[in-house]
Chain A
Amino acid sequence: MNHSSWQHVAKKLFELLTSLGFLATLTFFLLRLLPGGPFDDDAALNPLVRERLQDHWGTSQNFLMQVLNYLAALVRGDLGISMIRPDRTVTDIISQGLAKTFLLNSLALIVVVFGAFALATGAIYWRGTWFEKSVDQLMVVLLSLPSLFWGPLLIYLFGFYWDILPVALLEGPQYYILPVLTLSARPIASLVRLLKGSLEENLAQDYVRTAKAKGLGAGAVLFKHILRNSWMPFLSYAGPLLVGLLSGSFLVEMLFAVPGLGSEFIQALNDRDYTVIVGLTLFYGSLLMTANMLFDLLMRQADPRLREQA
């Protein structure tokens, strides 16, 4: 790490902070500007009580004060209290749901990465055979597999029809099989396509011809030379892959009744629980922005050409 690298890290950190500030303000405004508040449904509410409630939650102040108060609390790491279930803070909700969501998504990520590498290298190794063709066809199917079809189908077949796997609540290792299968179907397809494209591009490079010319077998060329050079597109795709997984995880958590962040978010949406919605949006946003920044730095470390460009 030389001077310019540190400068780059500082620049990235600054960008991250401004983006987070922007995201916090935006989500806050979007939700608070809406007519219809969390106390509107309580028709029998005494006006005095309503006023007290609004004072308590700070919703009677003007917008600017609300935003400033909110940002100040954020800096202290305080995301507020759930408006519908006031016995829980948003931080509690996040820390309780995070473990399940994290485990589910990490398992899916592992399946996706290993599966995609195996399928893509296999398809390249057996180019032009039935194997490559069926991988291509299968990926189109997986890419268009809606989790609303795939998830319930798996649940019906394995949970009800054959009755061999549990379908809800994630209480043991075997509980993870179906949700992970549902979650990884689409991401694996896009990753296989990306990797295959990158492998094919590398196949036409001069160094591959050199490697073949010096007498290496097809396997050695593929694994020792091409595969190592095909890592970069994967690193640049890691951010979007993570976003895609977490995005799919909302529906999967709902289908499989996983007590995780995704279910909490959907619950909060239906309850109009502003503080939870804003808190979770911010949490997901900052998690993924930080991950993106790390991937970017990692890529610069891995590929010197990127450092010279900047």
Chain B
Amino acid sequence: MKKFTLAFAITVLVVETLAVFIFSFFLSENGVEQNVEAILLPPSFSHWFGTDSLGRDLFARVLMGGQVSLVVGLVCSVLTFLVGFTYGALAGGLEGWADRVLMRLCDILLSIPSFILVAVLCLSVQVVLPFESSYWISFVSLCVGISATHWMTLARVTRGMVMEIKRRPFIEAAVAIGGSPSHILIRHIAPNMMSTLLVMVALQIPTNILYESFMSFIGLGMQPPYTSWGILVKEGWNTLSSYPHLLLYPSSVLFLTVWSFHVVIDSLRPTRH
């Protein structure tokens, strides 16, 4: 049962990635082109997920929206990792009052609901960015908003592990033969904690995807005519009572993706038993 679930989850992720990043280019016309003769059609063989209020094919739009959602998920985890790792390594390496100040800041940020942090930061970044296109403004502000607010747990774990590992004898040896702090951190300390950190970073991907959809849903993320899973859910939300397929298909895809990520990452964790 477990193996079957895992195989299913991996298949979902692989097929989805291929569809979103390769297959969608063949369909993009159906997702953009408006067709007044085929509006709000229920799912059928020619329109797998039905069509929206402008006659655009929902299946094609879900694939197109996936590009934004998946890329935001991935980019934000990488950024989160970079910020959290540097911050935690700095705190763990310096110790003393610097460590206390850095960790206090971490605690303060952790005690504010992350929704508030992401929203306020997205809003701030959106207004400051100098880009012309609203696509890039939304995209960058989402990335900054999400990754600037989710590095705290990773920083804490990194700090703890750096403190623990740097007291081991092999680090002493590396210091004795004259290794610089950054060299020791990257070549000697980091490899010893990567497995734990990578699982944390991977777990961040589904969270980021969810945050992208939240922000787009409340109107702070992507803006129409550009699309993402959050935008699609928002468009479906407005017509939920009469045309539930517009909401249920995109949000099921969102759910299936997040679930598959969780199943796959869970299997990477060292088992306790």
State in angstroms the CA–CA spacing of A285 and B248 once bound together.
Answer: 35
Q: Can you report 21 A-B residue pairs in the complex whose CB atoms are below 8 A from each other?
A: A34-B124, A35-B127, A35-B128, A133-B1, A137-B5, A140-B266, A141-B259, A144-B258, A144-B259, A148-B214, A148-B230, A148-B233, A149-B251, A152-B240, A152-B251, A153-B251, A243-B111, A243-B112, A269-B120, A284-B113, A285-B108
Whether A148 lies near B217 (C-beta < 8 A) is: yes
Q: Is A266 an interface residue (CB 8 A)?
A: yes
Within 8 A of B (CB), among A197-247: 197, 200, 239-240, 243-244, 246-247
State in angstroms the CA–CA spacing of A251 and B115 once bound together.
Answer: 9
Within 8 A of A (CB), among B7-37: none
**Complex contacts, A251 vs chain B, CB 8 Å:** 115, 214, 217-218
Q: Is B167 an interface residue (CB 8 A)?
A: no
Q: A148-B233, A284-B116 are in contact. List 17 more A-B contacts (CB 8 A).
A: A19-B107, A35-B127, A133-B1, A137-B5, A140-B263, A144-B259, A146-B254, A148-B213, A148-B251, A156-B244, A156-B248, A160-B240, A246-B113, A247-B114, A250-B113, A251-B115, A251-B214
Looking at the assembled complex, report how far the CB atom of B123 sits from the nearest CB atom of chain A, in whole angstroms: 6
Interface string of A24-40 (1 = CB under 8 A from B): 00010011011110000
Whether A288 lies near B218 (C-beta < 8 A) is: no
Of the candidates A149, A197, A248, the one whose C-beta lies within 8 Å of that of B254 is: A149
Looking at the assembled complex, report how far the CB atom of B231 sits from the nearest CB atom of chain A, in whole angstroms: 11
**Complex contacts, B261 vs chain A, CB 8 Å:** 144
Looking at the assembled complex, report how far the CB atom of B73 sits from the nearest CB atom of chain A, in whole angstroms: 13
Q: Is A183 an interface residue (CB 8 A)?
A: no
Whether A265 touches B116, Cβ cut-off 8 Å, given contacts A19-B107, A149-B252, A149-B255, is yes
Whether B111 lies near A146 (C-beta < 8 A) is: no
Number of chain B residues close to chain A: CB under 8 A: 48
Whether A148 lies near B108 (C-beta < 8 A) is: no
State in angstroms the CA–CA spacing of A191 and B236 once bound together.
Answer: 32
Q: Is A91 an interface residue (CB 8 A)?
A: no
Looking at the assembled complex, report how far the CB atom of A64 sits from the nearest CB atom of chain B, in whole angstroms: 20
**Complex contacts, B230 vs chain A, CB 8 Å:** 148
Looking at the assembled complex, report how far the CB atom of B248 sits from the nearest CB atom of chain A, in whole angstroms: 7
| Chain B residues near A (Cβ < 8 Å) | 1, 5, 104-105, 107-108, 110-116, 119-121, 123-124, 127-128, 206, 210, 213-214, 217-220, 230, 233, 236-237, 240-241, 244, 247-248, 251-252, 254-255, 258-259, 261-263, 266, 272
Give the tally of cross-chain contacts (CB within 8 A): 134
| Chain A residues near B (Cβ < 8 Å) | 15, 18-19, 22-23, 27, 30-31, 33-36, 133, 137, 140-141, 143-146, 148-150, 152-153, 155-156, 160, 197, 200, 239-240, 243-244, 246-248, 250-251, 254-255, 265-266, 269-270, 272, 277, 280-281, 284-285, 288-289, 292
**Complex contacts, A31 vs chain B, CB 8 Å:** 120, 124
Looking at the assembled complex, report how far the CB atom of A143 sits from the nearest CB atom of chain B, in whole angstroms: 6
Whether B217 lies near A140 (C-beta < 8 A) is: no
Looking at the assembled complex, report how far the CB atom of A3 sits from the nearest CB atom of chain B, in whole angstroms: 23
Whether A15 lies near B113 (C-beta < 8 A) is: no
State in angstroms the CA–CA spacing of A250 and B206 once bound together.
Answer: 19
Whether B262 lies near A144 (C-beta < 8 A) is: yes
Looking at the assembled complex, report how far the CB atom of A258 sits from the nearest CB atom of chain B, in whole angstroms: 14
Whether B113 lies near A243 (C-beta < 8 A) is: yes
State in angstroms the CA–CA spacing of A144 and B26 once bound together.
Answer: 30
Whether A270 lies near B210 (C-beta < 8 A) is: no
State in angstroms the CA–CA spacing of A108 and B30 once bound together.
Answer: 43
State in angstroms the CA–CA spacing of A148 and B250 once bound together.
Answer: 10
Whether B113 lies near A155 (C-beta < 8 A) is: no
Whether A284 touches B251, Cβ cut-off 8 Å, given contacts A30-B124, A156-B244, A269-B119, is no
**Complex contacts, B258 vs chain A, CB 8 Å:** 144-146
**Complex contacts, B262 vs chain A, CB 8 Å:** 140, 143-144
Whether B113 lies near A288 (C-beta < 8 A) is: yes
Of the candidates B1, B104, B113, B263, the one whose C-beta lies within 8 Å of that of A247 is: B113
5 pairs of A and B residues whose beta carbons are closest in the complex: A247-B113, A149-B251, A144-B259, A144-B258, A247-B115
Whether B233 lies near A270 (C-beta < 8 A) is: no
Whether A239 lies near B255 (C-beta < 8 A) is: no
Whether A145 lies near B120 (C-beta < 8 A) is: no
Whether B108 lies near A19 (C-beta < 8 A) is: yes
Whether A277 lies near B115 (C-beta < 8 A) is: no
State in angstroms the CA–CA spacing of A133 and B237 once bound together.
Answer: 35
Whether B112 lies near A23 (C-beta < 8 A) is: yes
State in angstroms the CA–CA spacing of A185 and B95 once bound together.
Answer: 39
Whether B248 lies near A269 (C-beta < 8 A) is: no
Whether B127 lies near A269 (C-beta < 8 A) is: no
Whether A285 lies near B111 (C-beta < 8 A) is: yes
